[in-house]
Structure 1
């Protein structure tokens, strides 16, 4: 026998109960995560785009019987729309996108929604496990040495941060692991988040913990991965908000180059005449690309513009050969984030936390929790035809 308000699977709430606790920003977040426009949602639910807009502003609420359909269209549990949970909300001024001009508003919104979800997951885990304290000078929420000042010049800032973190001279061996140890949340989105993965890395200082998203790059190149991480670290240290201009991008690039290859240390090692074989050896030792070392030679006055241009052309012809071709990130465990996954494992062992329990608390689908924890099922899918 049917009832007027059937029970919602999971938390046992009814559509009427969710309607009473409906939180408009959650609808916006769900829509952004789905990469959908208001028109898309309206067509899927059977209302007007204006009605969806009113739901998101809070000027009206969707009827209780529409909520299950909304949840189906946006691929979230109905409970996702309930108020009362911490909400990770960001706008474009709070995030630094490396490829701002080449990404659409929908892609940026999806990326920001993803970042918000990462923070919500982090918050849920941090209630159970003490994560590393935030030790990042210049970050307002820093818990270690909050009064430490970093120079505003990008290269000087990179040297100062290395000194502050006690990084030894020479290459930074495990950059991502180093950042996590200083309280920075680093995440690689699941490949299913296609709109997010099209954005070439971004960072946010607008949440209680600094966050860096390292999207899987098309080349799957660990050196590019490391430079992206250092670039986003530069944004967190140098820029309290994003203006989206090229000056900030140049400053972050300068920071990254100096952090990974300090001028005083790399200069004596670089050849006085362009030698790509020697640069390839330096590349493997320092964990940076040969191309970046060619640029460093030009930047430090060791090669002319013409020589640098010829070196780039030569590198293009060598790009598929050993020593010059991209090296997969999977071969470098120290460059893969583990903090959130290990926090979950610790909470599971110590407190019996499960994916199902965490999903209920976050009002997410279990598959989404598993994805963000890097626990997605990697088995091949059997398709019967």
Structure 2
């Protein structure tokens, strides 16, 4: 059987197994032989390969694939609290989402990516990129980004919400076939989802799409995160429109500002500081009061957010118009049926996609 050893590593680590743990489950398999096989320096018998595939519960066809989607700009809330096992499991889940997007593209036409990308080395700032992007989305200068999922999806960005460890916020990928995808933790409050979407949009148009060459001086996590944060703040709370309302900011103003801009109170406080609308001392005082009143854990006010539809509409088209069952999709995509069901759960959708005839 011709299998790609990298795909075996993929399936093993997705299942959360070390080489030793897998070897202990398979009669006749040693950790040493498995290690050599996964390095591409030794073969395994057909019998052992069959046992491994059966145990890992992935279709045989999966092991001849090559999923190489690069994980860009994974945004973790508290990196120090994430175990290697959790991080690996999440990153393989992300790669599987990208692979499903590409597999669906053989039958349906995803929206075309329409936004302009920005090379900051050419003199553009994250703020300028955000302002221009708002114009491309036909947002007025003083208008909040209300239907944020819809706006990004109609611009050709697929968004998938998954259940993930609470320390994970969002991640940006470009699939092997070139489709831009934002993968979002669905368990967070709507205001935080909005900020995460703005943040990842910044990564997409400044760091990911268009083969932008980033010099070593900027090609590090801290710098790129700072640029994405600046983009998100300007995209969601345009400086020229929000500045006057942040001067002399008081705690009593925060709820109304949050209702209008649909962003968290904590991000509004930070915005006031960054735009020099409050002093450093005032910023510290507001944060202390914010924490003392318990707003750090729960701001007590949720905001509107719409829902992503395009990816789920793609799944729905396969089920309805193309009349695939989940089992048939599992066979067609060479994935366990449980993965199809976990990632593609249908949501109410009126999105518009076209079948490729």
TM-score band w.r.t. shorter chain: 0.7 to 0.9
What is the Cα deviation at residue 210 of structure 1? 1.3
What is residue 229 of structure 2 aligned with on the other side?
A: 253
Normalising by the residue count of structure 2, what TM-score does the alignment of the two structures yield? 0.83
What is the Cα deviation at residue 306 of structure 1? 1.4
CA RMSD in angstroms, aligned pairs only: 2.9
Unaligned residue ranges in structure 2 (runs of 5+)? 209-213, 348-357
Partner-residue secondary structure (3-state), 2:169:
coil
What is the Cα deviation at residue 320 of structure 1? 5.9
Relative distance call for 1:372 and 1:125 in structure 2 (3 A) is same
- Asked if 1:166 is matched to 2:135, the reply is no
- Asked if 1:265 is matched to 2:241, the reply is yes
2:11 pairs with 30, 45, 48, which one? 30
Partner-residue secondary structure (3-state), 2:168:
coil
What is the Cα deviation at residue 160 of structure 1? 1.4
What is residue 340 of structure 2 aligned with on the other side?
A: 369
Q: More deviation in 43-52 or 225-234?
A: 43-52
Q: Is the 8 A contact 1:224 1:288 kept in 2?
A: yes
- Asked if 1:215 is matched to 2:171, the reply is no
What is residue 134 of structure 1 aligned with on the other side?
A: 113
What is the Cα deviation at residue 314 of structure 1? 1.5
- Asked if 1:317 is matched to 2:292, the reply is yes
- Asked if 1:123 is matched to 2:102, the reply is yes
Q: Is the 8 A contact 2:59 2:331 kept in 1?
A: no
Provide the rounded CA distance (Å) in 1 between the counterparts of 2:144 and 2:275. 18
Provide the rounded CA distance (Å) in 2 between the counterparts of 1:31 and 1:151. 45
1:97 pairs with 52, 64, 74, which one? 74
What is residue 348 of structure 1 aligned with on the other side?
A: 319
- Asked if 1:76 is matched to 2:82, the reply is no
- Deviation string, structure 1 residues 224-283 (Cα, Å, up to 9, x no partner): 11111111111111114794431111111001000101101111232x223222221111
Q: More deviation in 169-178 or 259-268?
A: 169-178
What is residue 169 of structure 2 aligned with on the other side?
A: 200
What is the Cα deviation at residue 173 of structure 1? 0.5
Q: More deviation in 63-72 or 349-358?
A: 63-72
- Asked if 1:225 is matched to 2:196, the reply is no
Partner-residue secondary structure (3-state), 2:286:
helix
Q: Is the 8 A contact 2:13 2:88 kept in 1?
A: yes
What is residue 300 of structure 1 aligned with on the other side?
A: 275
Q: Is the 8 A contact 2:157 2:180 kept in 1?
A: yes
Q: Is the 8 A contact 1:22 1:61 kept in 2?
A: no
What is the Cα deviation at residue 104 of structure 1? 4.3
Aligned length, in residue pairs = 333
- Asked if 1:58 is matched to 2:40, the reply is yes
Provide the rounded CA distance (Å) in 1 between the counterparts of 2:288 and 2:321. 56
What is the Cα deviation at residue 128 of structure 1? 1.7
Q: Is the 8 A contact 1:358 1:369 kept in 2?
A: yes
What is the Cα deviation at residue 288 of structure 1? 0.3
What is residue 109 of structure 1 aligned with on the other side?
A: 88
Matches within 5 A, 1:328-339: 332=305, 334=306, 336-339=307-310
Unaligned residue ranges in structure 1 (runs of 5+)? 1-19, 140-146, 377-385
Relative distance call for 1:359 and 1:161 in structure 2 (3 A) is same
Provide the rounded CA distance (Å) in 1 between the counterparts of 2:331 and 2:254. 52
Partner-residue secondary structure (3-state), 1:352:
coil
Identify, as 1 or 2, the structure richer in strand: 2
Ranked by relative contact order (alpha carbons within 8 Å, sequence separation 6 or more), the top structure is 2
- Deviation string, structure 1 residues 66-110 (Cα, Å, up to 9, x no partner): 2343235434234432x2x4x33134xx41022384344444433
Partner-residue secondary structure (3-state), 1:160:
helix
Q: More deviation in 240-249 or 362-371?
A: 240-249
What is residue 42 of structure 1 aligned with on the other side?
A: 23
What is the Cα deviation at residue 151 of structure 1? 5.9
Q: Is the 8 A contact 1:107 1:199 kept in 2?
A: no
